[in-house]
Amino acid sequence: MISVRNLRVVRRHRTLLDDVSFNLNAGEITALIGPNGAGKSTLMTALVGLCRLTGGTIDLQGRPIAAFGKRELARVMAYVAQKQDFLWDLEVQEVIGLGAASSTERDLTISSLGLDEFAQRRIKTLSGGERSRVMLARALAAQTPLLLADEPAADLDIRQQRSSMRLLRNEVRHRNLGVLVVLHELNLAFTFADRVLLLHHGRLVLDTDAETAAHSPELDRVFGERFTRTTIDGRTVVFPIETTA
Amino acid sequence: MRPGALTLSLAILLGMAGVFVGATLGVTSVGPAQLIKALTSVDPSSSDIVVAWRLQRVAGAFLVGACLAIAGVIYQGAFRNPLAEPFLLGSSAGGALGAAFAIFLPLPFLLDASLPTLAFAGAWGATLLVLLVSRMARINDAAGMLLVGIAFAALLGAARSTATLVLSDESVSLRAMISWTLGGLQTPTGATLALFALLTLTCLAASLMLARNLDILGFGEPTAATMGVDVGRFLPLSLTVAAFATGIGVAWGGVLGFVGLIIPHAVRWWIGERHAPLLVHSALVAGGFLAALDGISRVLVAPSEIPLGLLTALIGAPFFIVLLVKRYR
C-alpha cells in the first residue's frame, strides 16, 4: 500500500532520515521501533504528508503521496499523532464521531473499544490513557484501509496497552487493515506485530518479521543493552540483563 | 446541557425576550399591546410611528448581535483561541476608517447608505489586506495571521485618527464620528432590514458549513490536516466568512466590542463547544442580548442615550479580564 524509497529528510543541516526504504502492506501490523531521537516521529509525519522531503519518494497505492488532496488522503489513511491536543471540551462520542465514516461506525467503535461508559463524558475529564484510547477509536472509526499511530500505547497501563494492540490485530484480520505503529515497549512489538522496522540515527537498520527481529543482535547494538530472549506462547520476548558493576 | 430542541427553544425564547425588552424600553415605555398595534395599524398615530421605528432599530440590534457572535465563534475556532475577538483581524479598525470617510466626506451617490457601505467596505477590505499579506508572506498558521491583523489594526487606527484630525470641521462631523466609534446603532428601514436579515442568514448558513472543520481544528493543525482539513485553505475561507459577518455588524452597529466574546463563551458553558449548535445558539442569544442592551442604553440616562459600545465594553471588559485570569492562573 505504501512504498517508501530512499527517503531523506534534512533540517538545519541535521539529517533526520537517511536512505530509508520499505513497504507497508495491507493485512499486517508493522511496528516501528528505535531509541529516542531515531527519527520515528519524523518518518510518521513524512508518511502522512506533514513533512517536506529532502529526497526520495513515498507512493501510496501506486501514486506519489504529494498528489493526494488532504481529504482524499484522509479517506485512505488515518493517523494518531503522538501529541494530542484538545482545545474544545467535546464529548467522547463527538470526538469519535468527527473521525467516523458514519454514526454506525462511531457507535460500533465505541462499543468495541469498551468506551461506552465514557461516551458522554467530556474529553478533558479523562485521563491521558483514556484520551489516547479515544483518539485511537477516532482513527479506527474512519474505516480507512491504512492506520498510522505514533505511540498510541504510551500513556496506557499494561492491560490497556495489550487491549489496544489486540483490537488493532482484530481490525487487521477482519478488514485487511494495514497498520504502522510506533512502539517503545519492545515486547508489544514482538508480541503483536507481523513485521518490525528498527530505526537508528535516521537509518533503517532492520526490516524483518517480528521473530527474527527479536533475535537480532542489532537490537542490543542499537539500544546499547544486552537482552536475554525467551519464548512464551510461540512468541519471543526480550528482557535487558541488569549487570552489577 | 446537551444541545437539542430544548436548548434551541430556550435560545429562541432568550432572543425574543431580548427583542421585547429592547422594544418596550425607551423614553416612553410601551406595552405588548401597543407594540402589536404599531406593527399592524393601517392608520398609525405619531406614537405608533415612533414605536415602529423603535422596533426596526431593535431588530437591527438583534441582527448586529447575531453577526458579531457568528464572527466571534469563527474567529475563536479558526485562531484556536477562545479569547479571539471579531475585531482582532483589523476589521473594526477598517470599518471605523470607512465610517470616518463616510462622515467627513459622504459620497453623494450613496446618500444615507454612505456610512454602512463604507464601514462595511473598510471592515471587509482590512481583512482582505490581512489575508493578502499573510498569503504573500506564506503565513498559514493562526498565530502569524493574528499578528498581521494586530499590525493592520494599529495602522488603520492611526489612519482614522489622522483623518479625524485633518477632515473634521470640529462640530457635527466630529461628534458623529465619536458617536459611531462608541457604537451607534443605525436604524434600518424596512427594505434595508430585509436585506440585513438576508445577509445575516447567509452568514449563518456559511458558518454552519465551516462548523465541522472548526471542531476538528481543535485537535491541532497536524491532526486536522490528517483528518482531511486543508488548513492552508480553510483558514482564509473561514476568516473571510467571519469578516463578512463582522463587516455587516460594524456597518449597522458601529464599533461594538466584546459581544462576539461574551455570548459565545456563555453559550459554551451552557451547551458545550461543538461549533454547529454553538453558532446557532450564540447568534440567537447575542441578538437578544444586544437588543435588550439597546433598550437599556435608552433609559439609563433618559432622555439622553448611552452609546451602546460603552455598555458592551463595561460588561465585556471585566468578563474578558476574568477569562484571562482563569486561563493563566
Please write the tens of the pLDDT for every residue from A187-222. Answer: 999 999 999 999 999 999 999 999 999 999 999 999
Q: What is the pLDDT of residue B112?
A: 64
Which ipTM did the prediction report?
Answer: 0.88
User: Does B272 contact A45 at a Cβ distance shorter than 8 Å?
Assistant: no
Angle at the Cα of B195 (from B191 to B197), degrees rounded to 5? 115
Q: Which of A187, A212, A213, A185 is nearest to A198 (CA)?
A: A213
DSSP string, B12-42: HHHHHHHHHHHHH-SSS---HHHHHHHHH-S
Angle at the Cα of B283 (from B25 to B257), degrees rounded to 5? 70
Q: Which of A229, A205, A238 is nearest to A40 (CA)?
A: A205
Q: What is the pLDDT of residue B54?
A: 82
Full residue range of the structural domain in which residue B260 is found: 5-328
For residue A141, the distance in angstroms to the closest alpha carbon of chain B comes to 12
Q: What CATH number is given to the structural domain containing B37? A: 1.10.3470.10
Q: What is the pLDDT of residue A22?
A: 95
Return all residues near B283 (Cβ < 8 A) that are at least 6 apart.
B65, B66, B67, B69, B70, B200, B204
The count of domains in chain B is: 1
Rounded to whole angstroms, how far apart are CA atoms A58 and A47? 7
Q: List chain B residues with pLDDT less than 70.
A: 39, 42, 44, 46-47, 87-88, 106-113, 140-143, 170-173
Rounded to whole angstroms, how far apart are CA atoms B167 and B163? 6
| Lookup result for grid cell 473499544 | A113
CB B64 within 8 A of CB B257: no
Q: What is the pLDDT of residue A43?
A: 95
Average pLDDT, chain A: 90
According to DSSP, the β-strands at A55-60 and A2-11 are antiparallel
Q: What is the pLDDT of residue B172?
A: 60
| Identity of residue A228 | T
Rounded to whole angstroms, how far apart are CA atoms B32 and B39? 11
A207 CB-contact burial (10 Å; exposed 0-12 / middle 13-18 / buried 19+): middle
Residue B220: alpha-carbon gap to chain centroid: 27
Interface residues of A toward B, Cβ cutoff 8 Å, are: 45, 48-50, 69-71, 73-75, 77-79, 81, 83-91, 94, 98-99, 122, 142
- For A40, B38, B187, the CA distances from B48, given in Å and listed in that order, are 74, 4, 16
Q: What is the pLDDT of residue B307?
A: 85
Return all residues near B36 (Cβ < 8 A) that are at least 6 apart.
none
Q: Whole-model pTM? A: 0.86
Residues of A with Cβ-Cβ distance to B212 under 8 angstroms: 98
CB B284 within 8 A of CB B14: yes
Q: What is the pLDDT of residue A244?
A: 61
Minimum-distance CB partner of B225 among A70, A84, A85: A70
Helix or strand (DSSP H, E) at A5: strand A2-11
Residues of B with Cβ-Cβ distance to A132 under 8 angstroms: none
Span of A72-86, A157-171, B142-156 with lowest mean pLDDT: B142-156
Rounded to whole angstroms, how far apart are CA atoms B16 and B36? 14
Angle between helices B142-167 and B114-136 (to 10 degrees): 140
Average pLDDT (A167-186) is 91
For residue B296, the distance in angstroms to the closest alpha carbon of chain A comes to 34
Rounded to whole angstroms, how far apart are CA atoms B57 and B60? 5
The three cell numbers locating residue A82? 503522538
Buried b vs exposed e over B302-329: b needs ≥16 C-beta within 10 Å? eeebbbbbebbbeebeeebeeeeeeeee
User: Does A74 contact B219 at a Cβ distance shorter than 8 Å?
Assistant: no
| Domains by residue range for chain A, with CATH | 2-240 (3.40.50.300)
For residue B134, the distance in angstroms to the closest alpha carbon of chain A comes to 20
The three cell numbers locating residue A206? 532492520
CB B88 within 8 A of CB B149: yes
CB B227 within 8 A of CB A98: yes
pLDDT digits (tens, 9 = 90+) for B263-288: 999 999 999 999 999 999 999 999 99
DSSP conformational letter for B168: -
| Lookup result for grid cell 471585566 | B318
A158 CB-contact burial (10 Å; exposed 0-12 / middle 13-18 / buried 19+): exposed
